[in-house]
Structure formats: C-alpha cells, structure tokens
C-alpha cells in the first residue's frame, strides 16, 4: 500500500531551514534581552563582558537557565555558575 507524503512548497528546503535558523536566533536574542533586563531592573550591575556573553549565546536551554538565575543572583557573573 502506498503512503501519501505531502510535499508542500518550501518543506525541507533551504528556505525552510533558513526560516528555522532565523526564528531560533530571534528567540535566543529575545531570551538574552530578557535576562539583561531582569538583571538591570533588579539593580544588578551588568558589565560589558557579561552583556556580550549573554547576547552571543544561541543555546536556548542555557539561556533559560540563565533567565531563571537572573531572578535571584546578586552579581551578574553568578549567571554563569556551574554550566
């Protein structure tokens, strides 16, 4: 018996992969901005090196960990704790 496999335009294409990468990068950038905003709103000083490291990260799982930590750390360097 034949199995129907839909073939929609863009499915599995370079265009779809590019869209996924752009979407993931955008999501990571949003998480990074949220981390920095939480720290600043809490009055935690954020050095340029911390800002650059957070903004350069594209690992969503790691960014989520940092976001959770941003709610409780006293020093921005504590974000990076034990990774």
For 29-82, the pLDDT digits (tens) are 999 999 999 999 999 999 999 999 999 999 999 999 999 999 999 999 999 986
Q: Is 83 contained in some domain?
A: no
* pLDDT single digits (tens) 9-22: 555 666 656 655 65
User: Using CB atoms within 10 A of its CB, is residue 61 exposed (0-12), middle (13-18) or buried (19+)?
Assistant: exposed
Provide the domain count of the chain: 1
Q: Is 40 contained in some domain?
A: yes
Q: In terms of pTM, does the model score above 0.95?
A: no
Task: Please tell me the distance from the alpha carbon of residue 71 to that of residue 25, in angstroms, as a whole number.
Answer: 23
Q: Is 27 contained in some domain?
A: no
pLDDT category of residue 7 using cuts at 50, 70 and 90: low
Q: Is 47 contained in some domain?
A: yes
Provide the domain limits for residue 51.
32-72
Q: Is 43 contained in some domain?
A: yes
Q: Is 3 contained in some domain?
A: no
Neighbours of 22 (CB within 10 A): 10
Q: Is 9 contained in some domain?
A: no
């Amino acid at each position: 018996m034949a199995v129907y496999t839909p073939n929609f335009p863009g499915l599995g294409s370079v265009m779809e992969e590019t869209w996924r990468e752009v979407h993931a990068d955008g999501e990571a950038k949003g998480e990074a901005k949220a981390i920095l905003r939480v720290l600043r709103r809490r009055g935690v000083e954020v050095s340029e090196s911390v800002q650059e490291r957070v903004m350069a990260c594209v690992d969503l799982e790691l960014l989520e960990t940092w976001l959770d930590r941003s709610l409780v750390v006293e020093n921005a360097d504590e974000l990076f704790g034990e990774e």
